Amino acid sequence: MTFDRPTRLFVILGGFFVCNALIAEFLGVKIFALEDTLGLAPFDWNLFGQSGSLSFTAGVLLWPVVFLMTDIINEYFGRRGVRFLSYLTVGLILYAFAFAYLAIALAPASWWVGIQAEQGVPDMQAAFGVIFGQGMWIIAGSVIAFLIGQIVDVTIFHRIRRITGSRYVWARATGSTLVSQLIDSFVVLYIAFVLGPQQWSMELFLAVGTVNYLYKFVVAIALTPLIYLGRSLIDRYLGPELARALTERAAGREGFAEK
């Protein structure tokens, strides 16, 4: 079976998109200190009467890549291409967590439970359950926020594109990401920690959401040159005529599915 270059490109970009989203979900259980990681002095933020350090889930290492991939896929395959991959990703995330919970429920081998005791992990079953068994509220918040963010991203991307045409790639790519990440940052926290069992106060919710968004804002701006690099590599792979045909079709109403 042979694939034409656009189909092969969509499969590669889509696979990378889904893989990054799945990894980000499972890495998100770890909270890391940004200041300590970079060897910086503690930055004590104070917002809405709350204070804290720059601590984030490890998933923030990959989510910016997911939204970068969203903009590149949007550029060449349009809104239907992005929506298809977004729905597929949500389905696969839920599928992955379903089997994670099934694996947790399996009776552990007695010798395996204490096999890493000398490494500081006295109960491997408990550790496995904590790492892979994220709370349902967190999973629901993450999936819903991701889906809403993707829909907002693709909508704003094409609205800016209708205004600017093929110019100002940075405006539609980075602009749509900044708005979608603003919504994503607060939706996930509200569902997981305000509606969820932890019952965060609105002040804590607004403070943590703001800090998280500011981090994503800086990263989105920093990644803007990679959009141009990605376009350059893809245009070279497809050839100028095919690349132009794809971007023009993606700008239409039907996007990827248009014939």
Considering the chain, what percentage of its residues have pLDDT values greater than 90? 51
Residue 118 lies in a domain: no
What pLDDT, on the 0 to 100 scale, is given for residue 256?
45
* Within a domain: 120: no
Mean per-residue pLDDT over the chain, rounded: 89
Contacts of 231 (CB under 8 A, 6+ apart): 72, 75, 169
Q: Give the long-range contacts of residues 124-130, CB within 8 A, separation 24 or more.
A: 128/103, 128/104, 129/104, 130/29
C-alpha pair distances (Å), 152 with each of 49, 79, 184: 30, 11, 10
Q: Is residue 112 part of a domain?
A: no
Residue 117 has φ and ψ, to the nearest 5°, of -60, -40
Residue 95 binned pLDDT confidence (cut-offs 50, 70, 90): very high
The answer to whether residue 115 is domain-embedded is: no
Residue 50 forms beta bridges with which residues?
47
* 65 within domain boundaries: yes
11 pLDDT band (50/70/90 cuts)?
very high
For 85, the token pair is 């991959």
Per residue in 220-229, pLDDT (tens digit) is: 899 889 989 9
Decide if 56 is inside a domain: yes
Check residue 255 and give its pLDDT.
46
Q: What CATH number has the domain bearing residue 60? A: 1.10.1760
Judge whether 133 lies within some domain.
Answer: yes
Range of the domain at 17: 5-105+125-253
Q: Per the domain annotation, does 111 fall within a domain?
A: no
What's the pTM value of the predicted model, to 2 decimals? Answer: 0.87
**Nearest-CA neighbor of 193 among 212, 216, 218, 178?**
212
What domain count does the chain have?
A: 1
Do the beta carbons of residue 54 and residue 36 sit within 8 Å? no
Ramachandran angles phi, psi of 49, nearest 5°: 75, 5
pLDDT at residue 63 in the model: 85
Distance from C-alpha of 29 to C-alpha of 15, rounded to nearest angstrom: 23
User: What is the per-residue pLDDT across 171-223, written as a single tens digit (0 to 9) for each?
Assistant: 888 899 999 999 999 999 999 899 988 888 999 999 999 998 998 899 989 98
Burial of 2 (0-12, 13-18, 19+ CB in 10 A): exposed
